[in-house]
A and B are shown apart, each in its own frame.
Chain A
Amino acid sequence: MVFLCPVAGEEKVLEIPKRDIQWWSNFTPRYSIYLATYFTMTGLHGLHILEGSLVLGFFWRLGAKLYRTNAEHLANRMDLSGRF
């Protein structure tokens, strides 16, 4: 594995022996800005999905009681939580 490491104006090739490398990948956020952006955005999207699933799951199980008493109220709540 080879790093280009400019120190004080000079470029020096830094050799890292293979036994010092635990693992290496070309597809992690560490590898490049592109993948960093990609994984940050998909990660945040994942959190967003998780959060939405929790809210929907909440309405599905615990909101069922509200559906029987006041369906319109539940619909309004779903509407609002959708907006946020």
Chain B
Amino acid sequence: MPQEKNEHGNPMGGSQGVGSTVTTRESGHHEHQIELSWWRRYVFSTDHKVIGIQYMITALFVTLFAFGLMVVMRWQLSYPGKPVPVIGPLLTAVFGANMAPGGVMTPNLYNSFGAMHGTMMIFMAVVPALFAGFGNFIVPLQLGAPDMAFPRLNMASFWSFFVGVVIMLVGFLVPGGAAKSGWTSYPPLADIADTGMGFEPILNGQTLWLIGMVFNITGSLLGSINIIATIIQLRAPGLGWMRLPVFVWAELVTAFLLLLAFPPLESAAIMQLMDRLFGTSFFSPDGLVVGGRPWPASGGGSALLWQHLFWFLGHPEVYVTILPSMGIVGEVFANNTRKPLWSYKTFVYSMLAIGFISLLVWAHHMYMTGMGQSVSIFFQVFTIMISIPSIILGTVLLLSLWGGSIRFSVPMLFALAWLPMFGIGGLTGLPLGYTASDMVLHDTYYVIGHFHYMMAPAALMGLFAGMYYWFPKATGRMLNEFWGKVHFWMTIIFFNGIFFPMLIQGYTGVHRRWFDGGAGWQMAQPVLWLNHVMSISAWILAIGQIPFIINFFWSIWRGKKVESDNPWQATTLEWATPTPPGHGNFLHPVEVYRDAYEYSVPGASRDFLPQWEREESRVAEPKLSSA
């Protein structure tokens, strides 16, 4: 590989942390700019910023796609059995007359859309965007590092993830359609789904789901190792642990969660793959009878084992989605209230506590499996216990607002909205955490409403806050403020229009997986009108994203140019770089002299003291370093 030798000016890929025997040539970043081909610069890049943007774009595309699945499903729920307008013929053309005859959704199509909506949103949209996208782009910048610790591993993790996404999407096009056993893929249903007549042995929905997951998990594991190594090894001189921006802390905790929680699901996915391809029976119980015939496997496996392995990932995964979002909100709060976070250390320790406890709560998804009382009590206790650090975090953010001179910029609006969304999502979880009330609410729309409040409004509020906040750093141009506000109000109102009625419906017992209600909807008559509220909200929410999409692309090329490297007058290190940062990030080696959020320091002439300035700068306003 001779052509790869010097692309970083450092054979080990620009890191200080590994390969100390290598002569380091990494300090200056223009002395050895070797022109890379377009492919190596923008596609197979090892630069953490490009990879972060690749993650972000892929994840945003997947978000839009998976949201589109849900928009179609909402039609079916509001108008069961009616042809889907506008895209009905498209459904028939793509999925065939078996799956969507005359543009009407069949149960199989509905199930596959539901399963793929969940899978893609969680594993391929929210986590890659928040953890990997922002993590790759922002973390090395906030640490004052030239790149990630393992740049080439970083490229490998993105491409592994990308292959996973492609395999998942291919699932829609194979005979029989994509996986339809729910995003949790519980066996024995998932063992026997998509097999037999009309299905290919490997190219069928469920098998492709498993293969896609294996690729995706591999990518996540490599990425989390990289984030951990970067944060531990590549902090700038003076950047002690308690001076780290909260987003970096959030990424560190998240990376550890991924590292600990994902391997069980990877092995479980491989085991289910064995079950499907080689006839093993890890998850097939004794005497399984399918369609009146004995299932051809020796049996003796445990279906419950899958649930344990799945939820050992599945629950920490919730915190994987919410913690980076929390970190972004912390950054935006400190910057826009112009005062330090109220009790930074409490914030950090609460995140660590959440990370630790989240590994001990997984079986609260399984109260209905008959695990036994003492096990249930163990998980109930820890589930309720995790609300303590969560409430502390919310309180820290709330108190941070007190006495601040708040700038109601677009990122701040999203961050402010994050707080009540997080509150509703968390508090509606309490009845589900107690075994007694969970018995009633299990598998109803209440559960859907509850976890969507965490995963959709809360996590995505953080995503949008980060997007509007860091967009100027990535592109050198601001997102349009007016359209940002339009996007904000459309998003916040109609998110609640979708998810709050779910809580009400769930309380009356509407089951989460009903396709057209059938006889079950006879009992749900008084709350069925809410289906229309939710569906119309979902469609308007879709329209409400159009300003964002247009704003995003328009602003990349035509947006208002930033006038300084630090347009928000922020204190953390990512704003010390040129805009947008070049290869190697910093023009000069940075040192850190103070805590992360030194805003409104008494006696200072400006209301912010950046981490990288030893003395208070005389310059009233920092200028673009390129100017």
Contacts and interface: CB of A to CB of B under 8 A. Distances in A.
Interface in B165-187: none
B274 interface: yes
Given A36-B274, A76-B22, A30 B294 contact: no
B504 to A, nearest CB: 39
B298 interface: yes
Contact of B21 (A7, A33, A62, A72): A72
Nearest to A58: B1
Q: How large is the interface on B (under 10, 10 to 19, 20 to 34, 35 or more residues)?
A: 20 to 34
Contact of B298 (A31, A70, A72): A31
A3 B300 contact: no
Contact of B282 (A33, A44, A73): A33
A6 interface: yes
A5 B289 contact: yes
Contacts of A37: 282
B2 A40 contact: no
Contacts of B289: 5, 7
A83 B5 CA distance: 20
B622 interface: no
A30 B279 contact: yes
B237 interface: no
A39 B277 CA distance: 13
Contacts of B1: 62, 66
A70 B4 CA distance: 13
B287 interface: yes
Contacts of A40: 270-271, 274, 280
Interface string B283-309: 000110100001011101100000000
Nearest to A16: B294
B12 to A, nearest CB: 7
A83 B587 CA distance: 33
A67 B569 CA distance: 50
Interface residues of A, number: 27
Nearest to B286: A6
Contacts of B280: 29-30, 33, 36, 39-40
A45 interface: no
B88 interface: no
A30 B287 contact: no
Interface in B497-521: none
B278 A29 contact: yes
A32 interface: yes
A44 B18 CA distance: 29
Interface in B410-444: none
Given A6-B287, A29-B279, A76 B21 contact: yes
B297 A30 contact: yes
A21 B22 CA distance: 63
B559 interface: no
Given A33-B298, A73-B11, A39 B270 contact: no
Contact of A66 (B2, B12, B281, B298): B2
Contacts of A36: 274, 278, 280-282
Contacts of B240: none
B238 interface: no
Interface string A48-84: 0000000000000010011001101100100010001
B294 A39 contact: no
A76 B21 CA distance: 8
B19 interface: yes
B225 to A, nearest CB: 9
A51 B279 CA distance: 25
Contact of A5 (B153, B274, B287): B287
Nearest to B278: A29
Interface in B242-257: none
Contacts of A44: 270
B1, B297, B298, most chain A CB atoms within 10 A: B298
B278 to A, nearest CB: 5
A66 B294 CA distance: 59
A76 B12 contact: yes
A76 to B, nearest CB: 5
B601 to A, nearest CB: 44
A33 to B, nearest CB: 5
B11 A76 contact: yes
A80 B301 CA distance: 39
Interface string A1-42: 001111100000010000000000000111111001101100
A40 B11 CA distance: 37
B278 A30 contact: yes
Contacts of A28: 279
9 contacts: A29-B280, A30-B297, A32-B300, A33-B281, A39-B280, A40-B270, A40-B274, A70-B11, A80-B19
Interface of A: 3-7, 14, 28-33, 36-37, 39-40, 44, 62, 65-66, 69-70, 72-73, 76, 80, 84
A-B pairs, 7 with minimum CB distance:
A36-B280, A30-B279, A29-B280, A6-B287, A33-B300, A29-B278, A5-B294
Interface of B: 1-2, 5, 11-12, 18-19, 21-22, 153, 270-271, 274, 278-282, 286-287, 289, 294, 296-298, 300-301
Given A36-B278, A76-B19, A80-B19, 14 more contacts: A5-B287, A6-B286, A28-B279, A29-B274, A29-B279, A32-B298, A32-B300, A33-B280, A36-B280, A36-B282, A40-B271, A40-B280, A76-B11, A76-B22
